[in-house]
Amino acid sequence: MSNEKQFRLKTKFIAARNVKEYRDTIPTWVTKDDVVLEIGCEWGTTTVQIAPLCKEVIGTDVSLECIERARQKHPGIRFEVLDAFDARAALALGKRFTKIYIDMSGLSGYRSLLDVISLLTMYATVLRPEAIIVKSGALKHFASHCVPWRGDRLRAVPQEDAAEAGDGS
């Protein structure tokens, strides 16, 4: 059963539709004091783009083969084997991560939406980063249709309908 504390997360969730959008977020969301965790780094192509913009980055993947290849390709960057669903192993990396990037295979379709949401909530709760950027077209699509109710009828109405409803602005 949920309680109020569960929803007091400060973490922002940013959903990108594809790998281009995922990488396009880097200049906006990564800053020089950030300690960044990438989950699902494969060969480190995105990790290497994050590295020059932040204090520290660790690229992680469930596949040892990927991690070995990433280490060979980018010897200056730290890469570790990590299963995304093992949040305790992420905690054991011993860093105060401020931003988390997630790009895992198997998270793209609508059927995986609950997995995406539970993964985001788990990392927001356990590691408490400022933001988690996730590659999930399904989440982006779903989130774009969500409007949080704030008790103000006009705010909850889409812009074009607001004018008709007498908004006047």
Ligand X SMILES: C[S@@+](CC[C@H](N)C(=O)[O-])C[C@H]1O[C@@H](n2cnc3c(N)ncnc32)[C@H](O)[C@@H]1O
**Interacting stretch for ligand X, rule CB under 6 A, among 3-11, 59-67, 119-127, 146-154?**
59-67
| HSE-CB for 37 with a 13 A CA cutoff | 29
> Residue 86 or 167: which CB sits closer to ligand X?
86
Q: Closest distance between ligand X and the C-beta of residue 17, in Å?
A: 13
Q: Tell me the CA end-to-end span of the chain in Å, nearest whole number.
A: 41
> Residue 11 or 45: which CB sits closer to ligand X?
45
Residue 33 CA to residue 98 CA, distance in Å, equals 9
- Residues, the chain: 169
Site membership for ligand X, residue 70 (CB under 6 A): no
Name the DSSP class of 40.
S
Q: Which of 53, 62, 93, 138 binds ligand X (CB under 6 A)?
A: 62
> Residue 19 or 126: which CB sits closer to ligand X?
19
User: Do 15 and 132 touch, CB atoms closer than 8 A?
Assistant: no
Residue 117, token pair as written in the block: 């949401």
Binding interface with ligand X (CB under 6 A)? 19, 39-42, 45-46, 61-63, 66, 83-85, 103-106
